[in-house]
Structure 1
């Protein structure tokens, strides 16, 4: 009897817990006439408080919290009537939902000057129709990349927060915070190629054509576009103007072509679908896309229109490797209109982060209480085949090695190397004290017919400019090995190199990093004054043991200095990729010598030779202000200042 009472008590305790557990709703969306699956349809519950979209097979899975089981289900897509019904009893069988084509609301295609007036009015009403205060969108992001055969290379998904500024401010920027993510590598051959689509989740901002005032709704570009009123339809059961846009005849300034949907009553932009023209693809020097298409929709919440979905597809033929097809989708599932503080620096994703490079593997139960974004059937088959192959491998490999892949290990090692690698550019002031002087150089090597004579005035200056290119490899989080090359400019020319160690410590953890920098390097630098070119009358000429047979030679007089270079400085992280640095260095001289350098100027450049003659030399007569000397008139000073930009590969 006691055991029975305990069992009843446990059931009573578990009842409320079970009742609060989310229930899974599954369904498939089909075209009512063709009965074909409809991909990318928007599925929402409780006025889109939660939602997802259909995959390539028209299927979806939505995790419904107990508190929303009495709400209504909505399915919508541009060109179709919105489907709505009460949620069925759950759990239950897969729903079969058929969408009907939305009938045209307007007549024949027209060309009229008033069409542009509709667009102008919609732009003017943006402050009335869209948020004027910052808002935060919770949404799901999904991206994949297909090979030429249409097979996906990978699938990556995430739960993200998109922070939006007021729509009265024109911007394509905003903050993205990744709350959860998962990924799966679907390449059959496991070839260790690099996939570098950057800024994927930022399509929630870059695709928001109303917020960024894309060219086709920008009054400054109206002159480049031809606007036409097309047969209209309804959008979310609202009558709309359907306006097509494209380049005017004879112009190459229009970047886009497509159609937009404007509500007839409020003149709000409810959505648009467009692709880039050839001019649009060529506009950005960094854009390697061969084609790009977008589809964007908005939803009404609390009297304002907010971003609902962004669908983005890019195709590119890379210089090396097969062509790629990138697909990205953002779907809003919750809207916060309160004064939500924008996420701190450390919580924000960066535009150039590659979303695929997260550490979380694909797991069908990853989202738990969140919406499940179903992969299409082709992806599910590849996942099943991979899992089956891993199980087979585990039967023949030791447990410690089961599931490993030599190529994947090679890729991981390469990734680890890149994560530690950075390079940068620096512009600095090289401390060179130079008084005005007259410099005369004569060179007549014994036994040869060469006669070099040149008088060169030296202008007074306090410093010269140098440009430095550096490579850095991190040994630890704060200590790195550094190798740099540098070149002088202005009156003097010269090349140099430096090798050493660099140390950085973050003074501002938890926020935008501010680094204290210290370094120590060994430096060799050449400072030279060009003397011009000379004819070589002797094809057998040898200078310091080097054969110089070219018909034309050049010469310069130079100093070569070795020094230790301790430095102190600051670094400010501009993004996860870029860091602004400033350093002050002190040069501790070790040795210095004066040379005459002779270079071949004619002939095939890969086989040109050069030679140096150390001073003093019996063959070289060096005079400064008509006085014989072995020292040049410029003097290197100890302090050196530089400012630069460092780029991290990862």
Structure 2
């Protein structure tokens, strides 16, 4: 009884332990000018946790109680680090960062070969500088969309579990949503018409230029780019090269321009900012980067050193859609978990095709008050959220706690601004004049291949049959003649392949091929379309696919083996030479094929399906099939029974096929679909 009482109390005690944290608040300023520094990193680097300052320089950091003895560090690109013992901080903290001395005078003139050697060395050091084992992280993700007038349409954000494969493994990692929330600023119908973007939550993999070895790092592309050292600055009190790159005049192989930040000591890539050039932007399906209907895309990526290895800490992408609206993906890693990473359970994973907005919910204050997230670093958007609070929408999504709880990230992430600020990057997205293509992005389309085996319920009755093939007419000399009994059969085992083309994960075009397994002739080709519905979007996907197809099928039963005593003869424009010939009797059947398929997703690349078919024939004709025996390349012939050269008898009655070609039939197939 005593142990039972302890077990009942345990769930009540655990949350109290998990929620044991204290809050640090403050503001980060430029010591020289007194202006606020946004996106300064505030955290405990040894513990790989932190946050960033907002557009006004203010920050809120929630620290677990057991880290009270740690050191707080504040860093900003181009400024000296600030450090102080957390135990000695009482009340709000004002941090004044001192600009680092300019190192421009230390830049020596380097030829392009020397600069390329720096990049080569940094690439060679990737196995030493970045994790060679999978890692687990906690991250905070936010995405937003504006219209052509730059008014915000929606904002969605959430805490993510991240699983990144090692930098030796080119496979994509996994993402799980812990909890998300959203605010929509337009009517629902307008929201549906304005948002169709997916996979932004995969930013930890999509925008990791080091892991993906973007083309400006590839030695084969060095001739297409020009590189130069534009600065030497500091990052965490360590000097870094700032190497700018751009397209060599007229060389279309170069797809981007931007800046690389490389640690002068370890040769680690610590940061990059780059954008896709206009000509390269027109290319479709350039995954993992965004191209196609986008007018422009730019990326900002940061890394932070933890226990001697550099980990992704921030990734920001800002894309200008063809209507002029801005779509933003922002991921900030809030914690790098020690040890080898753990795979995210399948049912908790976000799929590449998921729209993050569809997976987020309303504001759960109890949940969010125990998490540090990230500040809204757009003053206009923050003001919009405040106005929504004043309109009592805060009870649904955001309240005044919102602006204080959006913290806990690392390093600086630049945002779109019309003018550059100290320590921030500024790009102008350029693109060729004229209208963008009218095609939708390639991500709307999908291609799936499936294979399986099953049975087709095709009843044939037991009967005695005689088949004859003659020289010119039934009154002529028989070339082949065979009389034998055909056993009754109700099912035909078959195997199938199918190729699917999907659009927007809803519409489906399918081409199907089916063949017999043994001792019969079964050849089907069908093409048609249908729909796909996911009935369990919040859990393991369970799909239902109704479909209609046009089917052409040849089906024949083997009657037996006939002796060819006649010698060489012509049939179906082929010369039959074999001494033994298999003879089959059957039908060519044209039908409408109606299918219902149910499938459950085993993993992101495979499904297990069960498919039921109902065929309604509308035309058929009797056929006799011949197959040579004993030859390396046997010939096959197909003959109609209404010609003068072929006759078929069923127990003395002429011209009756064993197949009920006018009756509806059923089939069932079980198999695997590959995505």
Question: How does the TM-score come out when normalised to structure 1?
Answer: 0.63
SS in 1 for 2:239: strand
Partner of 1:313: 318
Deviation per CA, 1:588-623: give whole Å up to 9, x if none: x576589xxxxxxxxxxxxxxxxxxxxxxxxxxxx8
Query: Does the CA contact (< 8 Å) of 2:450 and 2:673 recur in 1?
Result: no
**Paired residue for 2:411?**
none
Contact 2:79–2:97 (8 Å) recurs in 1: no
Q: Match of 1:232, SS? A: strand
5 Å matches for 1:325-340? 325-340=326-341
Structure-2 residue corresponding to 1:157: 157
CA contact (8 A) 2:207 2:301 kept: yes
Residue 62 of structure 1 and its aligned partner are, at CA, apart by 1.6
d(CA) in 1 for partners of 2:191 and 2:302?
Answer: 37
Offset of residue 626 of structure 1: 9.8
2:167 is paired with a residue of what secondary structure? Answer: coil
Aligned to 2:351: 350
Residue 365 and residue 327 in structure 1: after superposition, are their counterparts in 2 closer, same or farther (change >3 A)?
A: farther
Deviation at residue 238 of structure 1 after TM alignment: 1.0
Contact in 1 for aligned 2:153/2:191 (Cα 8 Å): no
Pick closer, same or farther for the CA change 1:78–1:580 going to 2, 3 Å: farther
Q: Aligned residue for 2:305? A: 300
In the TM superposition, residue 386 of structure 1 has moved relative to its aligned partner by 2.5
Q: Report the counterpart of residue 265 of structure 1 in structure 2.
A: 265
- Indicate yes or no: 2:63 matched with 1:64: yes
368-377 or 287-296: bigger deviation: 368-377
- 1:381 corresponds to: 383
Does the 8 Å contact 1:580/1:644 carry over to 2?
yes
| Paired residues of 2:141 and 2:158 also in contact (CA < 8 A) | yes
Compare 213-222 and 345-354 and name the one that shifted more.
213-222
Cα deviation code 1:538-564 (max 9, x no counterpart):
xxxxxxxxxxxxxxxxxxxxx996678
Q: Which residue of 1 aligns with 2:228?
A: 228
Partner of 1:138: 138
| 1:625–1:43 Cα change, 3 Å | farther
The Cα shift of 1:22 comes to: 2.7
Deviation for aligned residue 1:202: 1.0
Are 1:119 and 2:119 counterparts? yes
**Counterpart secondary structure, 2:216:** helix
Alignment partners' CA distance in 2, 1:313 and 1:148 = 14
Find the counterpart in structure 2 of residue 324 from structure 1: 325
Instruction: Give, in angstroms, the shift of residue 255 of structure 1.
Output: 1.7
Distance 1:118 1:189, change over 3 A: same
**Deviation per residue, 1:5-32 (Å, 9 max, x gap):** xxxxxxxxx9xx8998433323333444
Deviations 1:253-290 (A, max 9, x none): 11221111222222111211111112432333473221
Distance 1:27 1:133 in 2: 36
- Which 5+ residue runs of structure 1 have no aligned equivalent? 1-13, 395-421, 438-461, 475-481, 529-558, 595-622
Is contact 1:585–1:639 with CA below 8 Å preserved after alignment?
Answer: yes
| 8 Å CA contact 1:574, 1:580 repeated in 2 | no
Give yes or no for contact 2:511–2:527 (8 Å, CA) kept in 1.
yes
Task: Tell me, in whole angstroms, the C-alpha distance in 2 between the residues paired with 1:357 and 1:115.
Answer: 46
Question: CA 1:377–1:92 in structure 2 vs 1: closer, same or farther (change >3 Å)?
Answer: farther
**TM-score for the superposition, normalised by structure 2:** 0.60
Within 5 Å, give how 1:560-599 maps onto structure 2: 572=601, 575=604, 581=609, 583=611, 585=613, 587=615, 592=619
Cα pair distance change 1:363/1:155, threshold 3 Å:
farther
- Provide the C-alpha distance between the structure 2 equivalents of 1:590 and 1:257, rounded to a whole number of angstroms: 61
What is the aligned partner in structure 2 of residue 602 from structure 1?
Answer: none
Q: Match of 2:561? A: none
The answer to whether the Cα contact below 8 Å between 1:253 and 1:279 also exists between their aligned partners in 2 is no
> Structure 1: how far apart are the matches of 2:539 and 2:387?
44
Q: Distance in 1 between matches of 2:196 and 2:67?
A: 40
Name the SS for the 2:80 alignment partner: coil
Alpha-carbon offset, residue 154 of structure 1: 2.0
- Unaligned ranges ≥5, structure 2: 1-12, 397-444, 459-467, 471-493, 515-522, 555-587, 622-641, 647-654
